Every structure is written in structure tokens, then in C-alpha cells.
Amino acid sequence: MADNRNALIQRVISALLAALIILALGWFGGRTGLYIACTVAIVLGVREFSRMAFRPGIIPFSVPILYWAISILFYAAMVNYYELGLLWIALCNAAFFTGALWLSRGNVNNDSLLQALTVGTFGMTYCVLFPNFAVQLIKLDDGHQWFIFLLLVVFFGDTGAYFSGRLLGRNKLMPTVSPNKTWEGAIGGMLASALAGTIHAALVFPYVNLVYCAVFCVVCGFIAQAGDLLMSLVKRVAHVKDTGGLMPGHGGVLDRLDGLFIACPVVYAFASYVTP
């Protein structure tokens, strides 16, 4: 019981500290501060993902270095030349495939190499392309408020799912992927997402229909939880408990931001549609 209480306290303190850092960057740095927060999250996320995707002793050490460099170039290109997004996706994946094949020649068996290439492509989409839409979100009118909306929907959903699952959880959601997640927790998380997002919209977005917003928040909360499950699947395949150890009580950056990353393009699409 004491260990569970200590873990919960660690989790809350880490989450509050991360939230304060992001709020401070946004408050004092404006849009530039939020860009910095997004960039740091993406760089750390790529680093954690590459450690899981390319196992030492199986994949040459030069491959994750190449992957990290191409991922960062991909992010920089998308931030500055977003309208050429499809071109950057194609070019960066082609560069990664070509470089990884060349660096791995004669050193990796076919199964391991194909898995590394496939997982690497997925990681570039998940850790770079998806969160890049948070940067595009910030560029919109009221962009900083939409960024806060994104954080509220995802983080309140995560917190609601956690406590609902602990208090009411009986029926397992996907036990082979994440044994602790339950249907009760998932429903509680979606309701928390809807509550937080709709209240924020009512306060700062007079042009948003609140009924549509509540429905969207439920859908977005569901997608964010799918992102959480997806990263749990990646960790199981990689045989690791956490993606990293940067945030006590949570694990790594991807452990905390997995749902946020996948929700970024969804919130960007909604904000672009409803903004007059």
C-alpha cells in the first residue's frame, strides 16, 4: 500500500512539474516558447523510440544515429515548409531505407533488418509527423488557446482514465497489451476529456458549438487512449517496461505523451474546421 501511495505521489508531482514547465514556456516565451516545448518533446521522443526500435548488438550502432538525424531533419522541414509535407515524408523515408540498408549490409539477418525498417517508419510517423501538427496548431489564430485545449483534453482524459480504472475498473480492455487498463477507466477518461475540453471551449472559443465540441472531445479522448495502447504494444514487442526514466512515476517522454502525439493531427483538423 505504501509503495502504491509513493508511486502515485511521484506520478502527480512529475505531471505537475511538466505542466508548470510548459505553462511557463507559453506564458513567458509566447509562441516561441511553445515551439521550444514541442521541439524538445519530439527530440526526446525520437531518442527514446530509437532505443526501443534498434536493439544494440542486433542493429549496427550507426543505424539509430542515422535515424535520429533524419527524423530531426524531417521535423525541421515540416515546421518550415509544411505545404511540402508529402515530399518530405517520401524523401526522409527513402533516405532512411537507403542508409539503413547500406549500414547494415552483411551485419544483420533479414528478419531483424526488415523489422527495424518497418518499426523505424512507424516511429517517424508517430514521433515526428503527428506531433508536428501541434506546431501547426500554434500557428493558427488563437493557437496558444488551441494548444491548451489539446493538453486539457488529453491529460484530463489520461488522469480520468487512471483514477476511474483504479476505483471502478473490473473489465479488462486489452489485457494482452496493457493488463491494467479497463473499460471503466476508458469511459471515465473520455468523459473527463469531454468535460475539460468543453469547459475550455465555452470560456475562450465563442465561435465553437459546444455540443459538437463535447462529441469531438469524446472521440479525441478515445484516439488518445488508442495512442497509449499503441505505445504499450511497442514496449511489449521491444521487451521494455518504460520508454525511458526521465519522469519519475511515468517513465519516459513517450510514456507520458503517447496519447498527446496521436491526438495532435485530430485537434488540428478540428481547430482548422471550426475557426472562422
What's residue 53's pLDDT?
85
User: What's the rounded Cα separation, in Å, for the pair 96 and 86?
Assistant: 16
pLDDT of residue 237: 83
Query: Cα(121)–Cα(50) distance, rounded to whole angstroms?
Result: 11
Specify the pLDDT at position 89.
94
pLDDT at 123: 93
Q: What is the structure's pLDDT at 30?
A: 76
Q: Which neighbouring-strand residues pair with 182?
A: 172
| Rounded Cα distance, 25 and 36, in Å | 8
Domain boundaries, the chain: 2-274
Closest by CA to 251, choosing from 232, 230, 223, is: 232
- Cα 239 to chain center, whole Å? 20
Average pLDDT for runs of 10 along the chain of length 276: 54 61 65 88 92 84 93 94 91 95 85 87 94 94 92 90 89 90 94 95 95 97 94 86 69 85 96 91
Specify the pLDDT at position 193.
95
* pLDDT of res. 31: 82
Give the separation between CA 120 and CA 199, rounded to whole angstroms.
Answer: 38
